[in-house]
């Protein structure tokens, strides 16, 4: 099994008729994901990639019984696309779009409170349950089905770590990109909870970096909930110059955010095994699993 998505997940693609939307929706279909419809305002009634296109998420959802949506809508209207999907009570939204204004995300977060929706992203590569379902834009050729859950703030490092896990003989139950933006949907803590409850997941990899406080929150949670399954973490950015934004908006140092060293320290104290270098995540997980089996 996997978390958030499975073989029965029925996906609509918001912004499917655009260039990137078309390309990546097609890739997901090839992977075996059940793409049941697209949504592009003004193009309702047409067909694209052999699935119907609707004007609204509500229509697409009620007609096709979709339970997830992926959003490729450009930054200027991405927040409205998310809000439309939240109002249509879509259980899962994955937003790929990057460079969304941060206050638009504050608005989206307000809409999420008390809603029936889980949001992944924005600025996320998506969610992948290898061989089962892909909702996202990640490369899939190095991933294998297995028992490691991966949750990450970085798309590029996820590809790297997934390849290392597979090379170490460790497949993945699900990999999730929570996105590189400061204000986003689900975070490390919620993903860890889901992985703890998922019988198919035996170990968890956290891929964190400087900035924000996802890692601190995860450490807090693990200290109080206990390490139900082994957790390995990689924290990137030990040598990043201070007070500079390094690509991800989330890496901008803000009030009460930790350095790479303080995050590592926090996680260690909670019982997390730290990969001493970014090329050693797969090997570290293999060691930890051996130890816990012994």
Partner 1 sequence: MELYEFQAKQLLAQYGVATPEGRVAVTPEEVERAVKDFGGRTVFLKAQIHAGDRAKAGGVRPAGSPAAAKLAASELLGRKLVTKQTGPEGHLVKRLLVEAAVEGGQEFYLAAMVEPFSGSIMFLGGAGGIDIEERAAKDSSLLERVHLGISGEKKTGDIAAFCERMGPKDHSAKLKPIVDRIHKAFIELDATLIEINPLVLTKSGDFIALDAKIILDDNALFRHPDLAELREMDEIDEIELKAQRSQINFVRLDGDIGVVVNGAGLGLATLDLLHAAGGKPANFMDIRTTAKSLDIANGIGLVLDNPKVKVLFVNVFGGGMQPCDTIIEGLGIALRRKGRVLPMVLRVTGNNEDIAKVRLESFGLPKIHSTDMWQAAQRAVAVAQGKAQ
Is 118:91 a contact under the CB 8 Å cutoff?
yes
- Residues 31-50 close enough to bind partner 1 by CB under 8 A: none
CA angle 22, 27, 31 (to 5 degrees): 145
The span from the CA of 218 to the CA of 272, in Å, is 10
**Given 49, 246, 287, 288, the residue binding partner 1 (CB under 8 A):** 246
- Indicate which residue of 24, 48, 184, 248 is catalytic: 248
Residue 55 engages partner 1 in binding (rule: CB under 8 A): no
* Closest distance of CB 209 from partner 1, Å: 6
Nearer to partner 1, 67 or 154 (CB): 154
Residue with tokens 């899962």: 92
For position 110 contacting partner 1 by CB under 8 A, the verdict is yes
Q: Does 84 bind partner 1 (CB under 8 A)?
A: no
Of 289, 262, 120, 107, nearest in space to 194 by CA: 120
Which residue do the tokens 């969610």 mark?
127
Q: Is 279 a catalytic residue?
A: no
The nearer residue to partner 1, 139 or 200, going by C-beta atoms, is 139
At 152, is the secondary structure helix, strand, or coil?
strand
- Residue 254 engages partner 1 in binding (rule: CB under 8 A): yes
CB-wise, 71 or 249, nearer to partner 1?
A: 249
Nearer residue to partner 1 within complex by CB, 68 or 138: 138
Q: Does 160 bind partner 1 (CB under 8 A)?
A: yes
Listing DSSP states for 245-287 in one string gives --SSGGGS--TT---HHHHHHHHHHTTPEEPSSGGGHHHHHHH
Q: Is 130 helix (H, G, I), strand (E, B) or coil?
A: coil
Residue 225 engages partner 1 in binding (rule: CB under 8 A): no
Residue (43 or 278) nearer to partner 1, CB: 278
Which of 146, 179, 203, 212 touches partner 1 (CB under 8 A)? 212
Question: CA-CA distance, 54 to 133, in Å (whole number)?
Answer: 23
Nearest CB to partner 1, comparing residues 242 and 294: 242
Sign of the alpha-carbon dihedral angle for 188, 192, 198, 203: positive
Half-sphere exposure of 21 (CA within 13 A, CB side): 25
Q: Does 30 bind partner 1 (CB under 8 A)?
A: no
Applying CB under 8 A, among 42, 141, 293, 294 the residue interacting with partner 1 is: 141
213 belongs to the binding site for partner 1 (CB under 8 A): yes
Binding range to partner 1, per CB under 8 A, among 33-41, 50-58, 246-254, 263-271: 246-254
183 near partner 1, judged by CB under 8 A = yes
Long-range contacts of range 199-202, CB-CB < 8 Å, 24 or more positions apart?
Answer: 199/1, 200/1, 200/2, 200/147, 200/173, 201/3, 201/147, 201/148, 201/149, 201/173, 201/174, 201/229, 202/147, 202/148, 202/229, 202/230, 202/289
Least CB distance to partner 1 at residue 264 (A): 12
Residue whose pair of structure tokens reads 């097609």 in the numeric block: 26
For partner 1, the binding residues (CB under 8 A) are 20, 24, 27, 75-76, 98-107, 109-110, 113, 125, 136-142, 152-160, 163, 180, 182-184, 207, 209-210, 212-213, 217, 234, 236-241, 244-251, 254-256, 277-280
Active site members:
248
């Amino acid at each position: 099994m996997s978390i958030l998505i499975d073989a029965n997940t029925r996906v609509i693609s918001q912004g499917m008729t655009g260039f990137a939307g078309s390309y990546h929706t097609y890739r997901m279909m090839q992977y075996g994901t059940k793409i049941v419809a697209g949504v592009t305002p003004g193009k309702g009634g047409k067909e694209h990639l052999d699935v119907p296109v609707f004007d609204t998420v509500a229509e697409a959802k009620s007609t096709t019984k979709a339970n997830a949506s992926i959003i490729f809508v450009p930054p200027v209207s991405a927040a409205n696309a998310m809000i439309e999907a939240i109002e249509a009570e879509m259980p899962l939204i994955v937003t790929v779009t990057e460079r969304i204004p941060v206050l638009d995300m504050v608005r989206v977060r307000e809409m999420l409170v008390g809603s029936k929706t889980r949001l992944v992203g924005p600025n996320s590569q998506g969610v992948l349950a290898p061989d089962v379902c892909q909702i996202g834009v990640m490369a899939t050729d190095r991933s294998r089905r297995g028992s490691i859950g991966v949750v990450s703030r970085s798309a590029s490092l996820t590809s790297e770590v997934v390849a290392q896990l597979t090379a170490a003989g460790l497949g993945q139950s699900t990999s999730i990109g929570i996105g590189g933006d400061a204000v986003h949907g689900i975070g490390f803590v919620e993903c860890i909870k889901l992985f703890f409850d998922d019988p198919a997941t035996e170990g968890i990899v956290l891929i964190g970096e400087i900035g924000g406080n996802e890692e601190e929150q995860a450490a807090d949670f693990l200290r109080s909930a206990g390490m139900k399954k082994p957790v390995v973490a990689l924290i990137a950015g030990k040598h990043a110059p201070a007070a500079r934004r390094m690509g991800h908006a989330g890496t901008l140092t803000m009030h009460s955010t930790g350095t790479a060293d303080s995050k590592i320290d926090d996680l260690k104290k909670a019982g997390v095994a730290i990969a001493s270098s970014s090329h050693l995540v797969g090997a570290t997980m293999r060691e930890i699993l051996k130890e816990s089996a012994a």
